[in-house]
Amino acid sequence: MDGKHILIVGSGSVGKRHARNLAALGCRISGMDPRADRREEMASEVKLVAAFASEQEAYAAAKYDGVVIASPPHVHVRQTVQALEAGCPVLLEKPVCPDLKGARALQEAAKRTKAPLLMGYTWRWWPPLADVRRLLDEKAVGAIHHVQFHMSAHLADWHPWERYQDFFMAQREQGGGALLDESHWIDLMLWLFGMPKEVSGKIDKISTLEITSDDNVDLLFTYEDGPRVTMHLDLYGRPHEKFIRFVGADGTIFWSADPNQLSVGRTAAAEWDKTAYRCERNDMFVAVAKEFLAAIDGAPVKTCNLDDGVNVLRVIEAARAASSENRAAAIGD
Ligand SMILES: NC(=O)c1ccc[n+]([C@@H]2O[C@H](COP(=O)([O-])OP(=O)(O)OC[C@H]3O[C@@H](n4cnc5c(N)ncnc54)[C@H](O)[C@@H]3O)[C@@H](O)[C@H]2O)c1
């Protein structure tokens, strides 16, 4: 217990989770949220050094060992630059921000300030997916020809304590929507296979959800020397499903979140070699928190950095162009 003082900017769902985990790892926590009810909720879950209604008050009151940015995406860049300029290492929740221009501006600011930044694409810390990566490296089912990413989860089920219409996810201008918020899956594609050559597809709002953001994403990615990748993301599906299917020359690897399982099949019949996992969702956030604390102590950021977050936005920018202009779009620099 070395009592690092961490400021959590945004005391909503994931902000409170980071607060609980970092407090359990021995940190002293302060919170910032414009909403009094959110500050009170965080204070009821962890003992706070202080709770602030604005960043100005927070930075005037103390010097922090680290800052977690857990606010809606449209304020991420401004708040992250502010933390870096105060000399604080940052854990930045995904996505970096709603567009590539903002992400590039943050990249420049981060180069200037040199404080470490860990990006919160948390599925990179999920043990079954680390096993998938190892199996792909070992060519366990040969060269991969096709990958199917599938994520479907009705938005009204995400935060049962509030109306989904009031959640930032419903608002396009706050950085909500399937493409930005579920960019976890784009990040995993980049983590597993690197940058694709081009993308085509559609990003739409097609359900009756009362939101201004997109709720349906269907994309096709092609690689110079790699698999075809199809990706479906939606905010209206029930039951919720998250899975990735990797079809190789010698068989298939199938990962699913629920059941928490990894299966490998190599025969024509449905004979799967299954591995069941016991890890729980919070485990990946604890692993992120541990890497953040190590980065504060000077360890290199190793699992996910700002460039990784910017690369996701390069793909998003190309996907938006492909969808609006009805064409295949190259992934730009
Ligand atoms: N890594 C993951 O798996 C994961 C999981 C959930 C959320 N997230 C990300 O975390 C961020 C927050 O998501 P959430 O689910 O906690 O949302 P949330 O709506 O539950 O919480 C966001 C909080 O930010 C507050 N807020 C609004 N404007 C603010 C401002 N200017 N400054 C500070 N706080 C402000 C809101 O009042 C709210 O309490 C998003 O970027 C989201 O994508 C990541």
The CATH T-level fold of domain 5-122+284-305 is Rossmann fold (3.40.50)
The band of 245, judged by pLDDT with boundaries at 50, 70 and 90, is very high
Return phi, psi of residue 84, to 5°: -65, -40
Q: Where in the chain are all domains bearing CATH 3.30.360.10?
A: 123-277+313-330
What pLDDT sits at residue 114?
A: 86
| DSSP strands (E only) in 184-269 | 198-204, 216-222, 228-234, 241-248, 251-256, 261-265
Centre of ligand 1 from the C-alpha of residue 247, in Å: 35
What pLDDT sits at residue 2?
A: 58
Residue % of the chain over a pLDDT of 90: 98
Q: Is 180 exposed, middle or buried (0-12, 13-18, 19+ CB in 10 A)?
A: buried
Per-residue DSSP letter, 242: E
Write down the CATH superfamily of domain 123-277+313-330.
Dihydrodipicolinate Reductase; domain 2 (3.30.360.10)
239 preceded by cis ω (within 30°)? Answer: yes
Taking only the tens place, the pLDDT of each residue in 56-110 is 999 999 999 999 999 999 999 999 999 999 999 999 999 999 999 999 999 999 9
Taking only the tens place, the pLDDT of each residue in 190-200 is 999 999 999 99
Candidate of 21, 42, 93, 122 to mutate for ligand 1, largest count of ligand atoms within 8 Å of Cβ: 93
Residue 177 has pLDDT above 50, yes or no: yes
Centre of ligand 1 from the C-alpha of residue 270, in Å: 41
What pLDDT sits at residue 317?
A: 98
How far is it, in rounded angstroms, from Cα 91 to Cα 25? 15
Candidate of 168, 280, 284, 304 to mutate for ligand 1, largest count of ligand atoms within 8 Å of Cβ: 168
Residue 332 has pLDDT above 90, yes or no: no
Residue 1 has pLDDT above 50, yes or no: no
How far is it, in rounded angstroms, from Cα 42 to Cα 201? 40
Candidate of 32, 39, 68, 71 to mutate for ligand 1, largest count of ligand atoms within 8 Å of Cβ: 71
Residue 42 has pLDDT above 90, yes or no: yes
pTM to 2 decimal places: 0.98
Q: Whose CA is nearest to atom 33 of ligand 1?
A: 10
153 touches ligand 1 (CB under 6 Å): no
